[in-house]
Chain A
Amino acid sequence: MFYLSELLWAEKYRPKSLDEVINQKEIVERLRKFVSEKNVPHMLFAGPPGTGKTTVAHALAHDLYGENYRQYMLELNASDERKIEVIRTKVKEFARSKIAGEVPFKIVLLDEADNMTADAQQALRRLMELYSANTRFILTANYPSKIIEPIQSRCAVFRFTALKKEDVVSRLNYICENEKVKCHVKALETIYDVSEGDMRRAINILQAAAAVGEVTEETVFKVVGLAHPKEVREMLQLALSGSFVEARKKLRDLMIAYGLSGLDIVKQIHREIFSTEIKLPEELKVMIADYIGEIQFRLVEGADDEIQLNAFLARLALVGRKIKV
């Protein structure tokens, strides 16, 4: 018996060329003009996650250079390569080689540039000037306000807007038809709601739901619930009910079974305490938020994941008892 080789739909249904991009119409229009003139300025793509910033950058490069566009584009991700020295070396290396094609410049795509510190951005600005003769920078950012002024002023700024519900649903529907997957419109709308307009997440949820079974509202909720380990919530509830030792065991499960780091868990705890699933007095939520913030700070300072989170759970066991949930 054979099985099929399956791509992740987030990759399979990613638009390859600007022509295939269905939304962000004005932006695509202006970019097409750049392509036809074979002239591109430095650009800043700003907008919420999953709105197509990176996809559009790749599509633009594809249209400029053709199928093998990736040899003319240096892709860097600021959240993975935080050190400006690394970025500098790579850009320097990349800009040095000459280009054979008819486009007189190469592209540096710096994703999630708003994750760089202000100092690193200053260095980046100098890089942009230094190599502007034969390179163009495309920066993407969720929060443009976190990009320093001098960079913003050197870039053409494009604001990507959150995708509309009907656009996302129709895209999901198209995928379902193509993949011959049964799906209910209500389910697709639910996917839109839980993915907050993030197309990538929406497609991931759809594919996971389709793998589980028919795409119904129920499977969607099931998949979303599974994706965020419920152990975090259970851990909090155990601690709040005073069962510290049990809560600590859950913590270890999370670290081993899911490979989560202390920071991952801290962030998820923060989400959980404000969710409706956990019944807590409002003032206590605020207090816990403050304390988990303190724990995150300690972790960043280099403290140990498990010890810090144990201290957190021990505190919950204490306040949970006093307040009596």
Chain B
Amino acid sequence: MSTARLPWIIKYRPKHVDEVVNQDKAKQALLEWLKSWDQGAPGKKSVLLHGPPGCGKTSLVEAVARTLGYELFEMNASDSRRKEDIERLAKVASQTSGLRARRKVILLDEVDGLDPRADLGGVEAILEVIRNTRNPIVMTANNPYREHLKPLRDVSEVIAMDRLRETDVVTVLKRICQAEKLQCDQEALKEIAKRSEGDLRSAINDLEAAAAFDGRVTLETVKAISTYRNRVYAPWEALRKIFSSKYVFQAREAITSTDLTPDEMKTWINEHIPSWYDNPEEAWRAYEALSRADQYFGRIVKTQNWDLLSYALDMMGPGVAFARKTYKGKFVAFKMPERIKLLAETRKSREYREALAEHLAKRLLTSKAAIKSDVIPYLRIIFTSNPKYAAGIAKAYGLTEELVTWLAGPRAKEVLSYFKKPARKSKST
């Protein structure tokens, strides 16, 4: 079969891990994890591989699979909403690799493409497959921090890939030029690489287009045919752009350059103001700006006046960026916000408190507010200092095990052990 008409992005996919440029850390992690399957299924049976578009996620998985002699079963994650697809997937995943059959690795591409509303069952279905799989599963995502992906993050080994550097992109382009016996100017390749902003896929496409245009690749042809793309950035890249922006428009653009919702963006900035600003005055000014943005959001929700969004974004991006007194270029690793991890916990805790207040207000003839401020604090003391007595109270008020656990905190086990034994009425002894 002739390969002449294959698009270059397919034709020049790496066949072996050694051909994958850069990404050493991700390469290493993925290889090790796959090899660990030789001793049976490891603790985490899936990997969530994430990185910006065109950094080579799918290519890496293909190359690694081929290098280790795995057969690749590939599926786009958004197909998983269809029942027959998910059944097919589950079937493949549950097969054992017998002596004759080749070992399989399952690739679920673009799990962040799952729409949290439309594909409600999608994440659930994938989780179920992971739970039962006998074969390694690799998922890819541009942005793994969407809230609805949390369950997948939790069960998976998370491996990050970086945006490629310009020199990496140039290296690959040069390799292709040689293979195609194409005359390529160094300047032209650099320009393509620069415009690609680390997206190797778009760079190869541009190179192919430029070559088709003229038979040789010069700076002029490149400038003529390729344009800067509207890019989607990973959260940490957007943060870097905001904090180190020199002009208002850069900070403003960066705010909307991710696929985070404004609310999620707010959380990222909230987390990282102190990571960037170590001067207390700058930190406070930045928080004050974010707080203003937050107030606009509050008003938008209350009044449904979406015109205000623009002001909220002004305060969130430029407001936070220009809280600085002096400009400092520096490198900060922007980690995933604690708060996103803790969100569910905070919510749960609040719900328990509310449920308990509701429950006790009727018995104690007072408001929920009074229960929260005057009763629950003392209950907690009883529950954390006298498990047996606490169990008696829990019984008298018919508290659920969940509420008992919440109230007793570190001593939940002790309270519950009494709680589960039969109680005797207090007057009967």
Contacts and interface: CB of A to CB of B under 8 A. Distances in A.
B369 to A, nearest CB: 5
Interface in B306-344: 338-339, 342
Contacts of B366: 54, 77, 111, 200
A298 interface: yes
A258 B426 contact: no
Contact of B274 (A4, A5, A49, A245): A245
Nearest to A81: B367
Size band of the interface chain B makes with A:
35 or more
Contacts of A77: 361, 366-368
Given A200-B366, A317-B280, A6 B349 contact: no
A75 B368 CA distance: 13
A303 B423 contact: no
B345 A3 contact: no
Contacts of A298: 291, 294-295, 298
Interface stretch (B16-24, B165-173, B234-242, B377-385): B377-385
A29 interface: no
Contact of B283 (A3, A201, A256, A317): A317
Contact of A314 (B284, B345, B392): B284
Interface in B292-310: 294-295, 297-299, 301-302
Nearest to A198: B374
Given A3-B423, A257-B409, A314-B280, A252 B382 contact: no
A226 B389 CA distance: 18
Interface in A45-87: 49, 54-55, 58, 75, 77, 79-80
B342 A256 contact: yes
Contacts of A111: 366-367
A268 B352 CA distance: 20
B135 to A, nearest CB: 38
B367 A58 contact: no
Contact of A303 (B291, B352, B390, B391): B291
B349 A311 contact: no
Contacts of A205: 378
B392 A227 contact: no
Interface in A1-50: 1-8, 10-11, 14, 49
Contact of A304 (B284, B298, B382, B429): B298
Contacts of A201: 374
Given A3-B423, A6-B396, A111-B366, A310 B280 contact: no
Contacts of B280: 242, 244, 314, 317-318, 321
Given A227-B378, A255-B349, A303-B294, A10 B364 contact: yes
A204 interface: yes
B270 interface: yes
B79 interface: no
A214 interface: no
B124 interface: no
Contacts of B301: 302
B297 A5 contact: no
A211 B382 contact: yes
Size band of the interface chain A makes with B:
35 or more
Contacts of A1: 421
Nearest to B275: A245
Nearest to B283: A314
A271 B10 CA distance: 67
A256 B346 contact: yes
A307 interface: yes
B288 interface: yes
A227 B302 contact: no
A211 B389 contact: yes
Interface string A215-250: 000000001001110000000000000101100100
Contact of A317 (B284, B302, B370): B284
Given A259-B352, A318-B284, A4 B426 contact: yes
B377 A228 contact: yes
A54 B374 contact: no
B375 A204 contact: yes
A301 interface: yes
Given A298-B291, A317-B283, A259 B385 contact: no
B382 to A, nearest CB: 4
Given A7-B426, A79-B367, A259-B349, 6 more contacts: A4-B425, A5-B395, A8-B375, A112-B367, A227-B380, A264-B372
The 10 A-B residue pairs with the shortest CB-CB distance in the complex, in nearest-first order = A302-B298, A6-B392, A259-B353, A227-B377, A259-B349, A311-B291, A311-B287, A211-B386, A208-B378, A314-B287
27 contacts: A3-B418, A4-B424, A5-B396, A10-B375, A11-B364, A49-B370, A75-B362, A77-B366, A77-B367, A79-B368, A80-B368, A80-B369, A112-B367, A204-B375, A207-B382, A208-B379, A208-B381, A208-B382, A211-B385, A252-B338, A255-B350, A256-B345, A259-B350, A303-B291, A306-B339, A311-B284, A314-B287
